[in-house]
């Protein structure tokens, strides 16, 4: 008992010395000084050093980002996702791939001016995010540059935080991703956005908004269309854990013209004038989390020129083992052209996630695919390991 009290007293003396002393001193400096003055033995000093080292390791393990010393302090984080796919469809090869390899830099130039640069180094290096953020107050903050389009719950969710390995069919097709008519833009565009809280009650946001004016051409490209696109999103938080949102997008897609070709005096390819065609969307989504239960759903309607499309999904998930292990299911429907019969598809996805830590995650999905019209065997399984710092 006396030994424990002595150790506690020594520890308090060390902390007091570090606080009072105006010079920068380490714990080792103080312990060495106390050994020299016969205030503590070498064995006791070694014991205190060991306990301090263990405490520091535990503290660092909980840190999600680390400051990097530069002209200004910046936060550097990164993660990679390694995926294995087993494909039932004939002619497709099973195998591994590096799904994403992201490096993310964030920092503050002033108390209200922030910036972000995010790169993806998987397959082909590309710039994902590049923007400055002016955070004036809780009602108004501005984002200028290349950032996520404020549309859809799944679109604004980080790739590292998704419940499933893949996003839903409708989001991939209608929110500037892999199957959109403008190509895969990672759900982002270049422009200016303003957002914040429209209403707060007792410091709890009740209604959030985001409004954006965008090029509409996608990321890392020069705009090819004089007309600008507009996107907006409103999120209502009626009670704790429940988010109800609506999104709207009004834009256009530029189709370049083609010149007529003459062969032996005969026009073989008619000229097509360049033009802009409509690319509009609207959607609604719901997100509810209560204890270990998570419910999410989303509907998106899109128009590309004269083609009308729609997609929706509903997911349910439940956590076990103190929120380390999660099981999920998703119903996912998409119709690529509402005027044409036989082109809709329905996917049923079962999944399991295990979170080893905030930065290490293992996901497993199995997808049953049902398409209207000709049926083929194209179900697939995927396993994805994510690690980051």
Distance of alpha carbon 171 from alpha carbon 285, whole angstroms: 12
In whole angstroms, how far apart are CA 260 and each of 263, 264, 282? 10, 13, 37
Q: Which residue bears the tokens 């995926």?
A: 83
Q: What is the pLDDT of residue 92?
A: 93
Distance of alpha carbon 206 from alpha carbon 197, whole angstroms: 8
Q: What is the pLDDT of residue 35?
A: 78
CB of 40 within 8 A of CB of 34? Answer: yes
**pLDDT per residue as tens digits for the range 291-343:** 999 999 999 999 999 999 999 999 999 999 999 999 999 999 999 999 998 88
Per-residue pLDDT of the chain (389 residues; tens, 9 = 90+): 556 555 555 555 555 554 444 444 566 777 777 777 777 787 777 777 777 777 776 666 566 555 565 667 789 999 999 999 999 999 999 999 999 999 999 999 999 999 999 999 998 899 999 999 999 998 999 999 999 999 999 999 999 999 999 999 999 999 999 999 999 999 999 999 999 998 888 778 899 999 999 999 999 888 888 899 999 999 999 999 999 999 999 999 888 877 767 677 666 666 667 788 999 999 999 999 999 999 999 999 999 999 999 999 999 999 999 999 999 999 999 999 999 988 899 999 999 999 999 999 999 999 999 998 877 899 999 999 999 99
Please state the pTM of the whole predicted model. Answer: 0.79
Distance of alpha carbon 334 from alpha carbon 312, whole angstroms: 7
Which H or E run includes 246?
strand 242-250
CB of 352 within 8 A of CB of 49? Answer: no
**pLDDT per residue as tens digits for the range 168-223:** 999 999 999 999 999 999 999 999 999 999 888 877 889 999 999 999 999 988 88
Q: What is the pLDDT of residue 360?
A: 97
The token pair at 206 is 């009740």
CB of 134 within 8 A of CB of 113? Answer: yes
CB of 27 within 8 A of CB of 15? Answer: no
Distance of alpha carbon 276 from alpha carbon 177, whole angstroms: 20
CB of 216 within 8 A of CB of 228? Answer: yes
CB of 352 within 8 A of CB of 372? Answer: no
Q: What is the pLDDT of residue 207?
A: 95
Q: What is the pLDDT of residue 221?
A: 87
Q: What is the pLDDT of residue 204?
A: 80
Domains, the chain, ranges and CATH? 2-60 (no CATH), 69-388 (2.40.160.10)
């Amino acid at each position: 008992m006396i030994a424990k009290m002595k150790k506690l007293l020594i520890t308090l003396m060390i902390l007091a010395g570090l606080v009072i002393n105006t010079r920068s001193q380490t714990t080792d400096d103080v312990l060495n000084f106390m050994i020299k003055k016969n205030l503590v033995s070498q064995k006791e000093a070694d014991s205190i050093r060991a306990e301090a080292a263990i405490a520091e390791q535990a503290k660092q393990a909980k840190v999600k980002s680390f400051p990097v010393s530069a002209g200004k302090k910046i936060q550097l984080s990164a993660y990679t996702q390694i995926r294995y796919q087993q494909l039932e469809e004939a002619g497709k090869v099973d195998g591994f791939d590096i799904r994403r390899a992201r490096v993310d830099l964030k920092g503050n130039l002033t108390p209200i001016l922030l910036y972000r640069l995010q790169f993806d180094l998987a397959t082909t290096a590309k710039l994902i995010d590049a923007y400055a953020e002016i955070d004036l107050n809780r009602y108004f903050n501005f984002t200028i540059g290349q950032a996520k389009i404020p549309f859809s719950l799944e679109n604004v969710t980080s790739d590292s935080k998704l419940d499933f390995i893949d996003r839903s069919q409708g989001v991939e097709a209608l929110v500037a991703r892999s199957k959109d008519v403008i190509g895969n833009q990672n759900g982002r565009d270049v422009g200016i956005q303003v957002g914040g809280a429209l209403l707060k009650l007792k410091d709890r946001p009740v209604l959030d908004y985001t409004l954006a004016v965008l090029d509409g051409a996608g990321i890392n490209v020069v705009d090819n269309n004089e007309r600008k696109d507009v996107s907006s999103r409103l999120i209502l938080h009626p009670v704790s854990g429940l988010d109800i949102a609506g999104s709207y997008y009004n834009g256009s897609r530029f189709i370049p013209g083609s010149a007529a070709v003459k062969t032996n005096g005969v026009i073989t390819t008619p000229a097509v004038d360049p033009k802009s065609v409509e690319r509009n969307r609207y959607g609604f989504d719901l997100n509810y989390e209560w204890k270990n239960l998570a419910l999410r759903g989303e509907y998106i309607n899109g128009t590309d020129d004269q083609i009308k499309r729609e997609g929706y999904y509903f997911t349910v998930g439940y956590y076990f083992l103190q929120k380390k292990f999660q099981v999920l299911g998703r119903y996912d429907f998409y119709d690529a052209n509402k005027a044409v019969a036989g082109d809709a598809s329905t996917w049923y996805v079962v999944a399991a996630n295990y979170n080893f830590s905030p930065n290490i995650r293992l996901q497993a999905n199995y997808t049953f695919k049902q398409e209207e019209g000709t049926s083929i065997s194209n179900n697939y399984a995927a396993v994805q390991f994510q690690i980051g710092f």
